[in-house]
Amino acid sequence: MVQIMKHRKHHFRGGRIGEEIKRVISDMLLRELKDPRFTGLVSVSAVKASDDGSFATVYVTMLGAGSGAMAEATDEEKEEALAAFENAKGLIRREIGRRLGLRHTPDLRFRFDTSEEYGRHIEKIIEELGIPKTLKEKPMNSIEEIAATFEAVETVRIFPHENMDGDTFGSSVALCLALRERGKDCSVVINEKIPDNIAFIEYGCSEFASDETTPDVDGRCDESDDGVLGASGTAAANTEARTAEFLAVGCDLAVLMDVGETARITGRERLFADGRKTICIDHHVSSRPVYDYNRIDTSASATGELIYDILRAMGVTPDARAATALYVGILTDTGRFQYTNTTPRALRIAAELLDLGVKPNEVSTEIYQNVRLEKLMLENAVMSTMETVADGKGAIVYMTRKMLGDSGAIEEETEGIAEKLRGIRGVEVSVFVRETEDGRTKGSMRSKHYYNIAELASRFGGGGHVRAAGFTSGKPLQDVVEEVKSALWKTL
Ligand SMILES: [Mn+2]
């Protein structure tokens, strides 16, 4: 409190806004910021906004999990907490903008409060409250431990992330087939239509189920359905029945596949949480090991690599179908063996999958030579919005709902636009921003040689890899476009 008074004295306006911002963040720490790195006694001691309102410094304080009641947080814990704040920055800024009705939300910088007064103040609070210990991340499990975990259970439900791609779905299907072969009751739980070009690896593994009573199944399945999943009016009824069954019986193990946050299994969170144990198998840098079992290996080109290892550790030899599903994962996540994550190991596993019966040409034909004219028309409309920044090093395009509607294309056909844009000579960073059905704004970003795009995505509340990342924002499309452009001007 001393801090705030001090700032207020010198910067009246900045001080007042600072105090408001502090209130919002403190409130969010209690309710909305679910990052496990925020648990424990993390609080905001002061916020100092610059006079012009362009940025604000947020002073953070934290008590460690360490030995005693008044353990000081270790440097590592502090670093993690700051990283968590940095990660949630987009979310926090949106909330500040919304609650305080600011036209320009200041950029936020997070610093540790080293003031002694605050240290003593905190000690007192702790004496009064008793201390909630900082929740530590769980240890990472070995491939063998994960394999043993699967061996030990009977019912397994696998949850691929939303906007399914070849890796999340291929990994899910391959694991499902292998576990079924082991006599387990297993299925891949989805609540969206499988993209047409990867539907051929479904192999009877998926089941529609949703937390909601009226799942979003109709309308997604009515067009160009290939008979893989119920396009009929009975789909919703079946989904409800399956959902009821899942909820009644639960499962031994719920698997979060190729993703670290349940925020990306919208509409299935409850079904996932219903697993008596949870497990995360992923290769994204932004994922944290916070589930009962965790295998997050960022050195893997695709989650498919990890599933391959797990199956081998279980003594399962993938059949041609499982091998094809895994191959699809590795092929798509490495951009047809072109991205920087194309390691010797990725190629070795791919070679072994070919030995197991994968037909690479057939797979590629299904996945890549399957483009609908509507998709091309949409791409034309999107590409015509292109603007470049920083002497052509940054390129940005956007898609409105109208463009999508006019083209006759569907949402999933926006896939690949950011890559295409990156293909332009001289472009280091490409950004594709689109309006979503629910009025939010999604960004897909790619970089070519040196730019850390995950860092840029995290500023907008997202994350991903160094060369490929994304985010979802509550702001209108054009605001996001402008913000991305200005961020690129500053950093490119
Ligand atoms: Mn992946």
d(CA 458, CA 490): 16
C-alpha of residue 162 to centroid of ligand 1, in Å: 12
C-alpha of residue 486 to centroid of ligand 1, in Å: 30
C-alpha of residue 369 to centroid of ligand 1, in Å: 21
C-alpha of residue 145 to centroid of ligand 1, in Å: 21
C-alpha of residue 328 to centroid of ligand 1, in Å: 11
Q: Would you say 50 and 75 are in contact if contact means Cβ atoms under 8 Å apart?
A: no
pTM: 0.60
d(CA 437, CA 404): 10
C-alpha of residue 53 to centroid of ligand 1, in Å: 39
Please report which residue ranges of 182-319 form alpha helices under DSSP H. Answer: 234-249, 269-273, 303-313
**Per-position b or e across 407-426, b if 16+ CB within 10 A of its CB:** bebbbbbbbebbbebbeeee
d(CA 280, CA 478): 35
Estimate the crossing angle of helix 303-313 against helix 344-355, to 10 degrees.
60
d(CA 381, CA 397): 10
Q: Would you say 294 and 136 are in contact if contact means Cβ atoms under 8 Å apart?
A: no
C-alpha of residue 474 to centroid of ligand 1, in Å: 25
Residues ≥6 apart with Cβ < 8 Å to 114: none
C-alpha of residue 283 to centroid of ligand 1, in Å: 6
d(CA 427, CA 269): 38
C-alpha of residue 66 to centroid of ligand 1, in Å: 35
Residues ≥6 apart with Cβ < 8 Å to 284: 258, 259, 260, 296, 298, 463, 464, 465
C-alpha of residue 56 to centroid of ligand 1, in Å: 36
List the structure tokens of 169: 């779905």
For residue 40, the SS3 value is: coil
C-alpha of residue 441 to centroid of ligand 1, in Å: 22
Question: Which pLDDT score is estimated for 217?
Answer: 46
Per DSSP, the chain holds a count of helices (H) and strands (E) of 18, 15
C-alpha of residue 444 to centroid of ligand 1, in Å: 15
User: Which residue do the tokens 């007192």 mark?
Assistant: 124
Question: Which pLDDT score is estimated for 220?
Answer: 40
d(CA 354, CA 343): 17
Per domain, the residue ranges of the chain are 2-129, 143-368, 373-491
C-alpha of residue 343 to centroid of ligand 1, in Å: 14
**Alpha carbon separation from 431 to 147, 285, 395 (Å, rounded):** 39, 20, 6
Closest C-alpha to 308, from 354, 275, 262: 354
C-alpha of residue 303 to centroid of ligand 1, in Å: 5
**Alpha carbon separation from 332 to 167, 201, 438 (Å, rounded):** 7, 13, 28
Query: Tens of pLDDT along 157-210?
Result: 999 999 899 999 999 999 999 999 999 999 999 999 998 899 999 999 999 998
143-368: CATH, from 3.40.47.10, 3.40.920.10, 3.90.1640.10, 3.40.50.300: 3.90.1640.10
C-alpha of residue 141 to centroid of ligand 1, in Å: 19
C-alpha of residue 125 to centroid of ligand 1, in Å: 44
Give the up-direction half-sphere exposure of residue 208: CA atoms within 13 A in the CB hemisphere.
Answer: 26
Where does 2-129 sit in CATH, by number?
Answer: 3.30.300.20
C-alpha of residue 326 to centroid of ligand 1, in Å: 11
Estimate the crossing angle of helix 320-333 against helix 344-355, to 10 degrees.
150
Closest C-alpha to 112, from 73, 67, 66: 73
pLDDT tens-place values along the chain, 492 residues long: 333 333 333 333 446 788 888 888 888 887 767 666 665 567 788 888 887 778 888 888 776 544 334 456 777 777 888 888 888 888 889 888 888 877 788 889 988 877 655 656 555 655 555 444 333 578 899 999 999 999 999 999 999 999 899 999 999 999 999 999 999 999 999 999 998 899 999 999 999 998 875 444 443 433 333 333 433 445 566 666 677 777 667 899 999 999 998 989 999 998 999 899 999 999 988 788 999 999 999 999 999 999 999 999 999 999 999 999 999 999 999 999 998 899 999 999 999 999 999 999 999 999 999 888 999 999 999 999 999 999 999 999 999 999 999 999 999 889 889 999 999 999 999 999 999 999 999 999 999 999 999 999 999 999 888 899 999 999 999 999 999 999 999 999
C-alpha of residue 333 to centroid of ligand 1, in Å: 6
C-alpha of residue 305 to centroid of ligand 1, in Å: 10
C-alpha of residue 165 to centroid of ligand 1, in Å: 8
Q: Would you say 251 and 275 are in contact if contact means Cβ atoms under 8 Å apart?
A: yes
Closest C-alpha to 110, from 9, 51, 29: 29
Question: Which pLDDT score is estimated for 132?
Answer: 40
Architecture in CATH for domain 373-491: Roll (3.10)
d(CA 227, CA 207): 13
d(CA 459, CA 461): 5
Long-range (24+ apart) CB contacts under 8 A made by 127-136 are: 127/69, 131/41, 131/63, 131/69, 132/39, 132/40, 132/41, 133/40, 133/65, 134/39, 134/40, 134/41, 134/62, 134/63, 134/64, 134/65, 134/73, 134/77, 135/36, 135/39, 135/40, 135/65, 136/65
Residues ≥6 apart with Cβ < 8 Å to 427: 388, 392, 393, 394, 395, 421, 448
CA 242 to chain centre: 26
